[in-house]
């Protein structure tokens, strides 16, 4: 089993990285091959909206020559895509948003002269999130948006693990969060093995 992890936090030692660590450890323990991309260390420019990709029916076809192609290949070649992000202004970080915009546009040929392929069709998507508000008010809009992103691209949304950052005076990672991250990894692996969607909520 292969997971492609898209890490959108600009802080390599931040809260999202801390929550992701036990998740990845559990994945490895369960025999999952994980491939992690730190989006802030890559060159991923925002979508220019030029629409050139829409006239290329069977591959990305983006005119920008940066790291999108290699990340997109890994998004296609996996059992689960894991989008890890802190919440910034009620959504994901700019690096994650740039990737999502370009992947959903160049990845779905809905707007050209002829309708083409959905290059990420059938991919499963899960998300690992940290935020300052309670998850219900901090990460709800992100989850809604991500669900629609999946529907638009014919992908399957599996679920969200979200934990709250209570500020600098409280250490972020504790036993409960570590266990929740391990449980989420197990639930995702099990869902892939049994070909079911992950019904549990992890917020």
Binding region for ligand FMN (CB under 6 A): 9, 11, 14-16, 86-90, 130-133, 138, 165
Question: Helix H segments across the chain?
Answer: 15-29, 68-76, 94-106, 135-138, 140-152, 175-193
Q: Which is nearer to ligand FMN, 43 or 89 (CB)?
A: 89
Query: Least Å distance between CB 178 and ligand FMN?
Result: 15
- The answer to whether residues 87 and 139 touch, using CB atoms and an 8 Å cutoff, is yes
Q: Which is nearer to ligand FMN, 106 or 126 (CB)?
A: 126
Q: Which is nearer to ligand FMN, 31 or 171 (CB)?
A: 171
* DSSP bridge pairs for 131: 164
Query: Least Å distance between CB 187 and ligand FMN?
Result: 22
Q: Which is nearer to ligand FMN, 104 or 131 (CB)?
A: 131
Query: Least Å distance between CB 135 and ligand FMN?
Result: 8
Query: Least Å distance between CB 55 and ligand FMN?
Result: 37
> At a CB cut-off of 8 Å and minimum separation 6, what does 122 contact?
154, 155, 156
Euclidean distance between CA atoms 48 and 105, whole angstroms: 11
- φ, ψ of residue 103 to 5 degrees: the values are -70, -35
State the residue number with the nearest CB to ligand FMN: 14
């Amino acid at each position: 089993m292969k997971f492609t992890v898209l890490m959108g936090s600009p802080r390599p030692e931040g809260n999202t990285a801390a929550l992701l660590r036990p998740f990845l450890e559990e994945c490895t323990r369960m025999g999952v091959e994980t491939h992690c991309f730190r989006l802030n260390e890559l060159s991923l420019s925002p979508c220019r909206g030029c629409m050139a990709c829409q006239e290329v029916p069977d591959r990305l076809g983006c005119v920008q020559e940066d790291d999108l192609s290699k990340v997109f290949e890994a998004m296609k070649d996996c059992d689960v895509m894991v989008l890890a992000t802190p919440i910034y202004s009620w959504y994901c970080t700019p690096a994650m948003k740039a990737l999502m915009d370009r992947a959903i546009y160049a990845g779905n040929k809905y707007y050209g002269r002829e309708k083409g392929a959905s290059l990420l069709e059938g991919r499963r998507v899960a998300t690992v999130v940290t935020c300052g508000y309670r998850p219900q008010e901090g990460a709800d809009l992100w989850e809604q948006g991500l669900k629609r992103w999946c529907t638009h691209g014919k992908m399957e949304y599996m679920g969200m693990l979200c934990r709250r950052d209570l500020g600098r005076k409280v250490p972020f990672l504790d036993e409960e969060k570590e266990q929740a991250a391990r449980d989420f990894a197990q639930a995702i692996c099990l869902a892939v093995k049994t070909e079911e969607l992950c019904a549990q909520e992890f917020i």
